[in-house]
Every structure is written in C-alpha cells, then in structure tokens.
Amino acid sequence: MKQLFLNLNPWRWSDNQQTSTHFVQRSKMMEYDQALVWVTLILMVFGMVMVYSASISLPDSPKYANYKNNHFLIRQAIFVTVSILASFIIFRLRIEDWQKLAPYLFIATLVLLVLVLIPGIGKGVNGAKRWISFKAFNVQPSEMMKLFMVLYAADYTVRKQEFMHKLTKGFLPMMITVAVLGLLLLLEPDLGAFGVIVCIAMGILFLGGINGIWFGGIAAALVGIFTSVILLSPWRRERIFAYLNPFEEDNALGKAYQLTHSLIAFGRGELFGVGLGASVEKLHYLPEAHTDFLLAVIGEELGFVGVAVVIYLFYWIVKRAFEIGRQAIVLDATFAGLTAKGIGIWIGIQTFINMGVNLGLLPTKGLTLPLMSYGGSGVLINCVGLTLLLRIDYENRLMMRGGRI
C-alpha cells in the first residue's frame, strides 16, 4: 500500500528530504538574449548581400581588373564566419576577466597605433596609414581601440569612482590618455575614429558620475579642438565648404563628388527602391560603395523602406545595450553595466555618423557602417563587442536566478 502511495503521489520521499518529480516548472527566462543574436546575424548577412551587390561591377574598372565579381563577397563571408567562430570563444570569457585585461589590451593597441606610423610597417591607402599588413589580411588598430576604449574607460571609472568629482585625480588622467590617443589617430589621419573614441570615453565618464561642470567645460574644449583641426587643415576645410554646397559645379566634381552621388542614389530609390542589384550609382559613379557608402546603395536598391529597416535594427541594438547595462548596474555589476552602455554608445555614434554622411547631414568621413560594410577588422571587432554585450546579459540572467558566474 505504501509503494502504491509513493507511485501515485507526485512527491517522492528520501531519508533526508522531499524532492519534487512532478509539476516542476522550469524558469521561462531564456539563458541568453536570442533576439540580440538574431538581429546581429541579420545585419551581418544582409550586409554581405549588399556588399556583393555594391561590388559586383568593380572588376570592370582598371583598379580591380584582376578581381573576380565575387571577390568581396567571398572575403566578407570569410570575415563573418571568422567573427562568428571568434564569438563562441569570446562568450566563454567572464566579464570579470575582461576587466582585468582592459588596461593591458588598451596599452597593446596603443603600441599598434604607434607601429602604424612607422614606415615599412604601416600600410597606406588613399593617403591614410591606418593598417598593419600581415599579407593574408590587414589589421586596423583604430577599430580595435574603439572596443578597448570601452573596456578601459569602464574599468577606469570603476577604479576611480571616489575621485570622479575631482579634476586632478579623476578627470585629468583620462583626458591626457585620450589626448595622446587622439594625436596618434590624427597623424594617420583618422579624425572619424578619434571622434567616436572621444564620444565613448566622455559618455562612459558621464554615466560613471563625472562632475557636471568639468564635463561641460571639457566637452566645449573638445568642440573647439575639433573645429580648430578642421580650420587649420586646408583639405578638411575644403571638404566642409563642399558639404555646405555639394551641387556647386566645382564641389560636385571635387570634394563633394561622393556626397552628390550618394544623394542621387537615395533620390533614385524613392520609397521601395529600384530593386536589389539594379543600382546605377554603384557602376563606378559612387566611390567606396561597398564600404563607407553602403547605405546609399541600400537606399537606391531598397528605397526608404530598406533604409528604415536598417535604422530600426541599429536603434534596437543600442536600446537593448542600455537596457542590459542598466540591469547590470542594478545587480551591482558596475563595470559590466558601463561596458554594456559603452558598447551602445560606440555602435550608436558610429552608425549615426556613417548614416549622417551618406544622407548629407554630416561632412564626409571615412567611417564604415557597423556589422555591414566591407572590412575584416570592423566586422570582427563589432561582433566581439556585441558578444561581450550578450555575455553581460547572460551573467545578468544567471545572477537573477541566484546562480554563480
């Protein structure tokens, strides 16, 4: 009779405790953010399709005569595959380990930025030395620095939390670091990357509780520095004047050539576009269509609807990054929270600048569209950054369940 009771009863008894074998409900909370994974994959695959569309006609020009039509597609597919494989490895590292490594990664990348400027080591393209060539592939340290600045600034803010309201011990050391970094980037030159990195550092310091007065003063000083850099550089000054009046004949054939053809591409796309693969501007009218001006090809082929979808997906990623960061800070994981928000600032600022340039809202700058534009360093680092964001969310969920990291 006792055995029959045990068989029918949903509770089984042991000598020491009662354990449930029936009616046990698992937590409905996912172990990781599946939506973040899918949005990232969609942007990378969509970017691969558009890179192929934008570059398929490049072998018709003398510059790319030795390339096949699918050259950039194959390389982009390799970049995406390597990035995904790297993400599986990166995801296994704890955020605590990244915090320990943050200063060393920052210093190592700073050394790479110095090496870029050394003749024979740095590789120049279109007058800019931004790459270190390893024959089979190129490495762009400025792309790496965007991620490592997020980690370094978050770690710095946590370590200096009690001094964040003081100028000499809290704010000044970081500003000196950013100034040295800015000098190296301006020597390449890469004003766009410098702008993104400054926004990352300032954004994380602001979120970390920096003194508001000092923050406002330094922000105003940085605006003055950027303005001076532009005014003191003849070719940058010409680019600004061309941006203000792109369709003036001399500008349209000179400094504003890319901008005017980008605007023509958006104009041709109208609401639904001319159709995938049917772009005219990519036929050697719009330079760098597969890198900096990929959005213009999207606008021409898929119209306003296609561009709106891309904007929404990036908006969702930035919004999700701040939600994950806020949750981490609530769970007393300050470094993880600042890192998540820093990744949101990085992706958001770079996306805004790239889209602003393509749409004529900002002067032309050589910044790619994250996850989508052609380029190994950019895709890999963007993917690693979002993997860290996924890991932070994973650790948040683990802590909310009461588990140990």
pLDDT, tens only, 153-162: 999 999 888 7
Only one residue has tokens 């890999």, namely 380
Banded pLDDT at 376 (limits 50, 70, 90): confident
Mean pLDDT, residues 5-13 taken together = 40
Same domain, 134 and 65: no
Residue 16 lies in a domain: no
How many separate domains does the chain show?
2
Query: How far apart are alpha carbons 7 and 12 in whole angstroms?
Result: 8
Query: How far apart are alpha carbons 266 and 277 in whole angstroms?
Result: 15
Residue 3 lies in a domain: no
Residue 256 lies in a domain: no
Banded pLDDT at 245 (limits 50, 70, 90): confident
Same domain, 226 and 279: no
User: Which has more pLDDT, 38 or 6?
Assistant: 38
Run of H or E residues at 36? helix 34-55
Domain boundary (232, 252, 283) is at 232
Within 56-171, residue ranges assigned H as helices are 71-91, 95-116, 141-159
Same domain, 272 and 361: yes
Only one residue has tokens 């990623």, namely 317
Query: How far apart are alpha carbons 151 and 163 in whole angstroms?
Result: 19
Same domain, 63 and 121: no
Residue 244 lies in a domain: no
139: domain range?
Answer: 108-232
Same domain, 217 and 124: yes
Same domain, 308 and 382: yes
Residue 6 lies in a domain: no
Q: In what order do the strands lie in the sheet with 122-125?
A: 122-125, 128-133, 138-139
Closest alpha carbon to 122 in 141, 100, 150: 141
Same domain, 273 and 390: yes
Residue 20 lies in a domain: no
The answer to whether the CB of 237 falls within 8 A of the CB of 231 is yes
Same domain, 343 and 290: yes
Query: How far apart are alpha carbons 198 and 179 in whole angstroms?
Result: 9
Domain boundary (232, 259, 276) is at 232
Same domain, 194 and 284: no
List pLDDT tens digits, range 13-24.
Answer: 344 444 444 444
Same domain, 140 and 40: no
Same domain, 393 and 291: yes
Residue 12: is its pLDDT beyond 60?
Answer: no
List pLDDT tens digits, range 88-140.
Answer: 999 999 999 999 999 999 999 999 999 988 887 877 776 677 788 777 678 88
Residue 67 lies in a domain: yes
Residue 26 lies in a domain: no
Residue 150: is its pLDDT beyond 90?
Answer: yes
Same domain, 221 and 278: no
The pair of structure tokens assigned to 284 is: 């050697």
Domain boundary (188, 205, 232) is at 232
Cis previous bond, 370, omega within 30: no
For the full predicted model, state whether its pTM sits above 0.85: yes
